[in-house]
Structures are given as structure tokens and as C-alpha cells.
Amino acid sequence: MRKLNIAIVGLGNIGSYLYKYLNDNKKILTKKNNCLPFIKYVSARNKKRKRNIKIKKNQWLNNYLDATKIKDVDLIVELIGGSEGPAKKLVFNALKNKKHVVTANKALIAKYGDQLAKIAENNKVNLEFEASVCGGVPIIRSLKESLIANKISKIYGILNGTSNYILSSMDKDNKNFQEVLSIAKKLGYAETNPSADLNGDDVSAKLKILSSLCFNSFLSDNIYVEGIKGIDTADINNANKLGYKIKLLGFAEYINNNIYQRVHPTLIKKDSYVASIDGVLNAVIIDSKPVGQSIIQGEGAGPAATTSALISDISSILRGNIKFPFSVSSKKRKKLKFKTIDESLFSAYLRFEVMDKPGVLSNITSIFSKNKVSIKRLVQNPNKNKKISSIIIVTHKSKNKFLNKILKEVSKKNFIKKKPKLIRIDDN
């Protein structure tokens, strides 16, 4: 029976879960893959940390980089995290030394994926990263294999469970942002420092990877990113009244030989599929030909979901499948043009908190008219006690640059009480 010797580097919650799963299920995995997945070595920063697993003394490596040099290591699972430091050293060295690599590290792949792919291809080893995007949702393998016959024009969806939990909880429980964030931290849905989830960086990294796979392009940082910190209960309630839900979405579109990448809060119709995805779930929608629209959803994070993705990658290597990391060889990947969203057309929701006095509304609408942005719907909610008024405007489709220009011009007016709000609308 063939055997594949594995080194797991990083024994946090996910690494420990993977270790136990591989040991508990090695018989069935061997049967399914005709090859034994054998954990030869492990390495972790804190050897003395309490873990619910029994690790043999001879399995421990004192130096994590030794895994890249030892001859009887075939595959390294990198679970350190981060785009720099130990994780970067480990993966680069492993591939250079002809070791297969499986990783859940989206930050590393998003930043160095192009370089790492070339090294893997030159050395005829695998670099697999299913777990780097949407946890247990098999989106990477779907793009590489299941949808290989299709020409993809658009991929979008909910790619971050933390932000989705916060927005859906604000909606259901009528709680403010900080209240829900505090609950998310207590439940383990949000990190102690959740900035990457809240400011859109996490979704941005995932979208870069998905975009590259969809369009056979190199990774690009040309991506518009906006997080959810500015969303409050007033926006949630207004969206409901207008027939929408607010979700943090990532979009990558191929239009006229150009790629547009963007991450931002979005108003979507209540009856749309994406609007029904709540809590920590992720959902990815792919538009392609000839199959049409494909939807994949599931748990986006956590030890169990991530381990499911890691085992999928390990099993592929167990079967002896040597594949290009980004589906096609680096020589055949394209240097496509990545455009900003300035010229893109959007309907938009805008909210202005203003002094309740004559002439304010006409002043605002004149700025819309000057910038050739047509108003589809206007709602004014005065608060006579506070002598302020909330003006909600929904626009027809207009260029993003004109919408931003309006926001900038109105922000300078002395009747503005709070920073104006703009949320793009997706009616598809």
C-alpha cells in the first residue's frame, strides 16, 4: 500500500482538528484514495499548549522549517496563517524542495500565489488551497474541475461569515452594530481584532483568488474595497422598507475584455437567493455558459468546515493528481486589464441627515440634477423634536464617479448633520 507522509505545521484549533480527523479516519481515507495518509511530523509554536490530541514524541519537529528538508516528508499542511514570516518561509521552501503543499492561508495565496504557482509547476508538485476561500464550500475545486467546460462572466456572493452574521443579526434583532459585534466575539464568530472582516480585506483576498481562477488571469490588487463599519440600524430599517436587505458582497465581472473587482455593502432584493443567506453561512454565485447560474453555499469557517476542505486537497494528492494551482499553467494565464469602478453603472441608496429647514431638499436635488443623476425614489422623514430630517434617495443607474461626486458636494453643505451615506444596489 502506498503511503503519503504528512507534516502538519500549526496546531491551533484547525490543525488539532485535522490531526485527529486524519488519525480517526485513515482507514476510510486509505480505502477511498488507495493511499495511506500518514502523519509523520508536526510542528507548532507552543509545544506545551493543551490540545485534545495525543502526539507522539517522535512526531515533533523542533524547527518547523525542518519539514521542508526531511526526505521522508511528501506533503506539508501549512496552518500558521499570515502572508509574511514563518508561513511564507515554510511554503516557499517546501515547494522549492519538491514537497506538496496544502494551505488554508488566503492572505498568502492572494499576495504570493502567482510566484508560488510557478515554483510548484517547475517542481511538479501541488499547491492546493481549497480551504483558503469560504471554508467548507467547495468553490475552488468547482472552478478548477466541475465548471471547466464553462466560460465564466461573473462570480459574486457572501464570502465572509463574520460580516454576514453581524448584518443579519442587526436586521433580525434590531440591535446596533457594536452590540452585535460584541455578541459575535463572545460566540467566537468574530476575532478579538476583527478589522479584516469588518473593513472588507478578508473578502478582498478571497475575491482576488476566485477572480484569477474564473478568468485565467494573474492576481490583481486593483479592487475597490469598502467594509460594513458605516452601516447602522437606520440603514437596515430603511432597506427593509424599500424591499431590500443589506449584505457585504464581493463581485468579479468580465466585461469587454476587462475585469472589475469590488467589495462593498450592497442592497439586494428581499426575494433574492442571496438575501436568504444569514448567520455565518457563505454563498457563491457563478454566471457562466453553457450551464447558466450555479450556486454553492455552506459553512464558511470553523475547524470542521476548514478540515473538510483540507482533506479534499489532501485526497487529491493521495490519488496522485498533479495539477496547476490556478487550473492552467502560468504560461497560459493572462495579463488582463483590471478596471476601477468609476465608469461602472449603479443604482444607489443615499441617506442625508440634515437640518429641517426650507430650501435644503431643493439644494440637494439640484446637486443631483447638475451631476445628471436621476432620482427614482425620495423619502423624507422629519424629526421635529430634534429639528432634523432624514432624506433617503434611491437613484436610477448612474456612473459611480458621479454618485461619489454628489456625496462629496453635499457633504460640504452647512446643513448636513452627519456624514452622508451611499450604498450601491444590485437588482439582478
> Quick check: 377 pLDDT over 90?
yes
Query: What pLDDT does 301 receive?
Result: 77
Query: What pLDDT does 256 receive?
Result: 86
> Quick check: 99 pLDDT over 90?
yes
Hunting for cell 450551464 — which residue is that? 291
**Using an 8 Å Cβ cutoff, are 361 and 380 in contact?**
yes
Angle at 192 between CA 268 and CA 310, to 5 degrees: 75
The set of residues, in sequence order, having a beta carbon less than 8 Å from that of 164 and lying 6+ positions away, is 158, 247, 248, 277, 278, 279, 280, 281, 282, 300
- 386: how many CB neighbours lie within 10 A of its CB? 11
**Using an 8 Å Cβ cutoff, are 117 and 101 in contact?**
no
Query: What pLDDT does 334 receive?
Result: 83
Helix (H) or strand (E) segment spanning residue 113: helix 106-122
DSSP conformation letters of 199-267: SSHHHHHHHHHHHHHHHTB------EE--STT--HHHHHHHHHHTEEEEEEEEEEEETTEEEEEEEEEE
What fold is seen in the domain 345-426?
Answer: Alpha-Beta Plaits (3.30.70)
Q: What's the one-letter identity of residue 106?
A: K
Residue 236: what are its φ and ψ, rounded to 5°?
Answer: -60, -50
How confident is the model over 124-177, as pLDDT tens digits? 999 999 999 988 889 999 999 889 899 999 999 999 999 999 999 999 988 899
DSSP helix, strand, coil percent of the chain (3-state; round to 5): 40, 30, 35
Under DSSP, is residue 122 helix (H, G, I), strand (E, B) or coil? helix
Cell of 167: 448584518
Helix axes 400-411, 360-370, angle to 10 degrees: 150
CATH class of the domain at 3-128: alpha beta
Burial category of 62 from C-beta neighbours within 10 Å (exposed 0-12, middle 13-18, buried 19 and up): exposed
Q: What's the one-letter identity of residue 158?
A: I
Considering only CA atoms, give the Rg of the chain. 24
Q: How far apart are CA 357 and CA 351, in angstroms?
A: 17
pTM score, whole prediction: 0.91
- Residue span(s) of the chain under CATH 3.30.360.10 come to 140-299+335-339
Q: Which percentage of the chain shows pLDDT scores above 90? A: 72
**pLDDT class for 17, splitting at 50, 70, 90?**
very high
- Residue span(s) of the chain under CATH 3.30.70.260 come to 345-426
How confident is the model over 49-98, as pLDDT tens digits? 888 888 888 899 989 999 999 999 999 999 999 899 999 999 999 999 99
Q: Which percentage of the chain shows pLDDT scores above 70? A: 99
- Residue span(s) of the chain under CATH 3.40.50.720 come to 3-128
- 369: how many CB neighbours lie within 10 A of its CB? 11
- State the Cα torsion 41-42-43-48 to the nearest 10°: -120
**Using an 8 Å Cβ cutoff, are 286 and 215 in contact?**
no
Q: Where are any strands of DSSP class E within 340-387?
A: 345-355, 375-383
Catalytically active residues, by annotation: 206
What is the pLDDT of the chain when averaged over all its residues? 92
- Say whether domain 140-299+335-339 belongs to CATH 3.30.70.240: no
> Quick check: 402 pLDDT over 80?
yes
